[in-house]
Amino acid sequence: MGFKIVKKRVLIPGRVTEVVFLAPDIAPTAKPGNFVIIRVRENGERIPLTIADKNPEQGTITIVYLVVGTTTALLDLLQEGDEILDVCGPLGKPTKIEKKGEVVCIGGGTGIAAMHHIAKGHAEVGNKVISIIGARTKDFLLFEEELAKFSAEVLVATNDGSKGHKGLVTEVLDSYLANHTVQEVVAVGPVVMMKAVAEVTKKYNVFTTVSLNPIMVDGIGMCGACRVSVDGQVKFACVDGPEFDAHKVDFDELMHRLNSYKQQEELSYKQFCECHGKEKKN
Ligand SMILES: Cc1cc2nc3c(=O)[nH]c(=O)nc-3n(C[C@H](O)[C@H](O)[C@H](O)COP(=O)(O)OP(=O)(O)OC[C@H]3O[C@@H](n4cnc5c(N)ncnc54)[C@H](O)[C@@H]3O)c2cc1C
Ligand code: FES
């Protein structure tokens, strides 16, 4: 039995899409921080996607994806009523959420979707949540309205200044931390952003959690693909994470490992685009 898509919503045309699908065995136990591994076709690649939200009553989970290569492009061909071939989850350790005071949650790119689920969890236990989101331009911002429903403040940064602060989320974070006492910072987004967040929060000595996105294959700790170094020790992000103490992560190694299959990925996506008459996006 496949996993039927009940709702598909384009968030950023041609780039980011939200899909809600039936997964009655996953929805009741999915927690903030968990992810699923999906396969779109027989012999297809397995890819991890964060559970951006869930509805246990309706037995659905929500994913938000950015089309970057063959499997996300294949997923994007599916429409409401179609089925995702298989979905494994919930995987990974859930976020440690406890009442602690004020928590700043930062999201970049599709990381905002994952951050939204975590931030909502913090708000539900009574923490004051400050959300900081960033994108290239205002048209690439995600979940601003959803975050505003439970955040004390939503601070925005865009590279071109089309909305909020002109510049990086780390600059917004830096000035916020200079004037407020914060118990934890959570960052989800591109590795380069999470590394920069860790550098800022180290200055203020604020505990910081990042959600790592290494290449994953099985998602259950058997293949070793998602190996990361944390505090000088080998960890498997799929079972030991994906969230870790940002001040202990070797981000440079993670960036290096993420590029391991760049050539093959580019070739595969080029072939997909040629077959489907699509233009390759940057
Ligand atoms: C725990 C976790 C949660 C994630 N959540 C989301 C999410 O909610 N939304 C989203 O858009 N993306 C998410 N990602 C990234 C997503 O898995 C990749 O974008 C996807 O695998 C790309 O596959 P592709 O075939 O379309 O592209 P490809 O051309 O194969 O790859 C493009 C890039 O994606 C990454 N990637 C490729 N294969 C994998 C793989 N098997 N596992 C992990 N990364 C891979 C690499 O950086 C690669 O360079 C998450 C990754 C992890 C590890
Ligand atoms: S994905 Fe295989 S060990 Fe983590």
Provide mean pLDDT across the span 73-100: 94
pLDDT at 261 over 90: no
The pTM of the full predicted model, rounded to 2 decimals, is 0.91
Can you give the residue ranges of every domain in the chain? 3-91, 102-211
Q: Cα angle vertex 124, ends 247, 94, to 5°? A: 45
Instruction: Enter the CATH code of domain 102-211.
Output: 3.40.50.80
One fold for 3-91 and 102-211: no
**pLDDT the model gives residue 12:** 86
Q: Which of 68, 78, 261 to mutate to test the pocket of ligand 1 (most atoms within 8 A of CB)?
A: 68
Beta carbons within 8 Å of 160's beta carbon, 6+ residues apart: 136, 137, 166
Band (pLDDT 50/70/90 cuts) for residue 1 is low
pLDDT at residue number 58:
96
For residue 66, the ligand 1 atom closest to its alpha carbon is 11
Distance (Å) from CA 184 to ligand 2 centroid: 28
pLDDT for the residue 13: 85
* CATH architecture for segment(s) 3-91: Beta Barrel (2.40)
The Cα–Cα gap between 168 and 191 comes to 14
Calculate how far, in angstroms, residue 183's C-alpha sits from the geometric centre of ligand 1.
30
Determine contact, residues 198/208, Cβ cutoff 8 Å. Answer: yes
Query: ∠ CA(241), CA(187), CA(147), 5° rounding?
Result: 115
List, in sequence order, every residue forming a beta bridge with 226; answer none if it has no partner: none
Q: What is the pLDDT of residue 281?
A: 57
User: Separation of 182 CA from ligand 2 center, angstroms?
Assistant: 33
